[in-house]
Chains A and B, each alone.
Chain A
Amino acid sequence: MPTSSGCSGRANSEGQAHIVGQGDQQSLQGLLDALAEQRIVVPLDRMDLVLHEFTVLQRQRALINGIVESDGLSGIHTVISRSRGAL
């Protein structure tokens, strides 16, 4: 069964190039390395949707980290308050 880096520990860079931009390549490799480190095997025939999801999540991570850095939110306490029921 053909698999992603879960088996090989390396991405198929040929396959990635037309799906994500060059700037995302390093991060995508990070996802594939993380999957390999977690010993998670994703069949190649399922990688199309994995890559699509990945590009969306990458943008969202960048958005959040950018806001937290620029707005100085990094000191915000993160413990969930149960008495309020919410956050």
Chain B
Amino acid sequence: MSRELSISEMARALRSGAVKSEQLVRAALDRINACDTRIHAFTQLNREYALNEARACDLRRREQGADNLPVLHGIPVAVKDIYDLAGQPTTCHSKLRLDHIAEQDAGSVQRLKDAGAIVLGKLATHEFALGGPSFDLPFPPARNPWSLRHIPGGSSSGSGAAVAAGYTRLALGSCTGGSIRIPAAWCGVVGLKPTYGRVSRHGVFPLAWTLDHCGPLARSVEDTAIGLQVLAGHDPRDPGSADEPVDDYCSTLDIGVRGLRIGVARSRFQHLAQTSAEFLRGFDRASQWLAQEQANMVEVCLPDDEECVAVGRVILAAESFALHAKDLRSRPLDYGHITLSRLVQGAAVSSEDYLNALRLRRELAARMDTVFERCDVVLTAVTLDTAPAFTSAGTAHGWPAQAYAFNVTGHPAISVPIGLSSQGLPMAVQIVGRYFDEALVLRVARAIEKLSGWEAQPLPELES
């Protein structure tokens, strides 16, 4: 029962006494028990902790009343296993980190807990949030609940899979080159990469400091907005954190798109061999839905994706190498094959390469800002086809996706489902906004969610 309620419905049911936190947590644990031996979304599940927390929430509600309790009070969530949870290992899905125990909660985890959320446990990731899927790591790779033969995307693979499977409505992911939006797109959930600096990265194992973003994956746009409301804000412990005002993300969700100028960036991917005809038709449908709602659709040309990817990869190579050089020297065989092959590339990136990548990034970000002189948000692709099968997935570099650009420029971007393909796999589009304009990005995504009918889409039925 509980897994079909949205976060706001859960909160209302808890306040009215129609449901208890313990019921919500037990329902989540039952679903995980039934499914996760096949999906492998969780690397660590804290059953007793979660049940104890739920009972404590129920007690607090009985004793203090429900009126002044925070928004996520008693609601189960889960986090990618690169976020610190005090007293528990942050393994990063790696043999190198199996013995690591976090001393304190990550900044974003603390915000979730302060809002009353119950953290069920840790979710699978590509090793160090880098490349995958891999079968030579301490935990198996997560699988896509819509088809266990297909990858869920990554690197927030467990976060996408857990939300799609109905374990939780909200999970935390991280994104350096598409790692929130790609699993969201392929798992049929919503994934938001906020503006660079919007959400704290304190206590989150880094991959590349100037590209890393933290953010929510959730079942619906409203759940995502609630999650961002909790997560957004300045954290002086994260040197990249922005001290900017936080909007009200929920109150404007259902205003609609009438009169908005929406840039359509179809030219960015329509000619590519990786773009499937079925996705292109889905993208055009999404564009037509918005036009029918009286949005002003404008063709726009975004910065060249190849340049964005090149900049992102050179920066990532340099910054991730600086992080891992010591372990690459002392324990190279403890890395998975894919991770090792990518991390060592940084040894050959010169200071000139790195600085030129930073210079070009600034130019690309300025070009993206210019696009927003002609429109309020941009509609574009995030993935160009449905999720690949494990047998043909390769490493993340070859995936049919266009998500890297907005990690490079730092603009907020969301992936929102538009429906299922003829193969029964989710498809999605991406909405990109101006810096710190997540409220508008969420509002347009909400319109697409309503127009697509995705909010009525039942959970996937797992293959046996």
Query: Does B227 sit within 8 A of A, measured CB to CB?
Result: no
CB-CB under 8 A from A8, the residues of chain B are none
Complex alpha-carbon distance, A78 and B356, angstroms: 9
State the CA gap A37–B337 with chains docked (Å): 21
B360/A67 in contact, CB under 8 A: yes
Report whether A61 and B410 are in contact in the complex, using a CB–CB cutoff of 8 Å.
Answer: no
For B337, the chain A residues whose CB sits under 8 A away are: 46, 49
B309 interface residue (CB < 8 Å to A) = yes
Shortest Cβ distance from A57 into B: residue: B345
Query: In the bound complex, what is the Cα–Cα distance between A67 and B220 (angstroms)?
Result: 41
B242 at the interface (CB under 8 A from A): yes
Contact (Cβ within 8 A) B309 A35: no
With the chains together, A84 CA to B412 CA distance in Å?
13
Query: How far in angstroms is the closest Cβ of chain A from B366?
Result: 9
Segment touching A, from B26-34, B90-98, B190-198:
B190-198
Which residues 47-87 in A have Cβ within 8 Å of B in the complex?
49-50, 52-54, 56-57, 59-61, 63-65, 67-68, 71, 73-74, 76-78, 80, 82-87
Q: Are B313 and A57 touching (Cβ within 8 A)?
A: yes
B338 near A42 with CB under 8 A, answer no
Q: Complex formed: what's the CA distance from A59 to B341 in Å? A: 17
Q: Is the CB of A65 within 8 A of B359?
A: no
Which of B196, B357, B363 is within 8 Å of A85, CB to CB? B196
Chain A residue numbers with a CB within 8 Å of B352 are: 65
Could you say which residues of chain A place their CB within 8 Å of the CB of B317?
57
Interface residue SS majority, chain B? helix
Q: In the complex, what distance in Å separates the CA atom of A37 from the CA atom of B328?
A: 13
| Contacts known (A57-B314, A85-B197, A86-B410); A76 close to B362, Cβ less than 8 A | yes
Contact of B210 (CB < 8 Å), options: A30, A76, A80: A80
Query: Is B55 an interface residue, CB under 8 A from the partner?
Result: no
Q: Which of B340, B345, B365 interacts with A54 by CB under 8 Å?
A: B345
On chain B, the residues within 8 Å of A52 by CB distance are 341
Residue numbers in B under 8 Å from A31 (CB-CB): 344-345, 347-348
B195, A40: Cβ atoms under 8 Å?
A: no
Answer yes or no: B435 CB below 8 A from chain A CBs: yes
A22 on the B face (CB < 8 A): no
Docked Cα-Cα span, A85 to B309, in Å, equals: 21
Q: Nearest CB to that of B328 among chain A residues?
A: A40
Interface residue B9 (Cβ < 8 Å from any Cβ of A)? no
Question: B309, A34: Cβ atoms under 8 Å?
Answer: no
Judged by a CB distance under 8 angstroms, whether B333 is at the interface is: yes
Interchain CA distance A57-B309 in the complex, whole Å? 10
A8–B380 Cα gap in the complex (Å)?
48
Contact of B244 among A49, A65, A78, A85 (CB under 8 A): A85
Give the size range of A's interface with the partner: 35 or more
Chain B residues near A87 (CB-CB < 8 A): 196, 210, 361-362, 365, 409-410
Q: How far is the CA of A40 from the CA of B347 in the complex (A)?
A: 9
**8 A Cβ contacts from B408-431 to A:** 409-411
- How far does the alpha carbon of A84 sit from the alpha carbon of B340 in the complex, in Å? 34
B374 at the interface (CB under 8 A from A): no
Q: Is B329 an interface residue (CB 8 A)?
A: yes
Smallest beta-carbon distance A14→chain B, Å:
20
Among B242, B333, B345, B359, contact of A73 (Cβ-Cβ < 8 Å): B359
Contact partner, A64, options B243, B357, B409, Cβ 8 Å: B357
Given contacts A35-B347, A65-B353, contact A86 B196 (CB under 8 A): yes
- A67 and B338 in contact, given A73-B363, A78-B358, A85-B242 (Cβ under 8 angstroms): no
- Chain A residue numbers with a CB within 8 Å of B333 are 43
Q: Does B103 contact A (CB under 8 A)?
A: no
Is there an interface contact between B329 and A39, defined as CB atoms closer than 8 Å?
Answer: yes
CB neighbours (8 Å) of B12 from chain A are: none
Contacts of B314 in A (CB 8 A): 57, 60-61, 64
Which of A31, A59, A78 neighbours the largest number of chain B CB atoms within 10 Å of its CB?
A78
Q: Does B349 contact A (CB under 8 A)?
A: yes
- Asked whether A12 is an interface residue with its Cβ less than 8 Å from the other chain, the reply is no
Q: Are A49 and B310 in contact (CB under 8 A)?
A: no
B383 to chain A, nearest CB (A): 20
Cα(A68)–Cα(B122), bound, Å = 42
In the complex, are the beta carbons of A53 and B311 less than 8 A apart? no
- How many angstroms between the C-alpha atoms of A30 and B210 in the bound complex? 26
| Bound-complex Cα distance A31 to B317 (A) | 13
Query: Could you write out 25 A-B pairs with CB less than 8 Å apart?
Result: A30-B348, A38-B328, A39-B329, A40-B328, A40-B332, A40-B347, A42-B344, A49-B337, A53-B341, A53-B345, A54-B345, A57-B348, A60-B309, A60-B314, A61-B353, A63-B307, A64-B307, A64-B353, A65-B356, A67-B360, A68-B359, A68-B360, A73-B356, A76-B359, A85-B195
Q: 5 closest A-B pairs (Cβ-Cβ)?
A: A85-B242, A86-B410, A85-B197, A60-B310, A49-B341
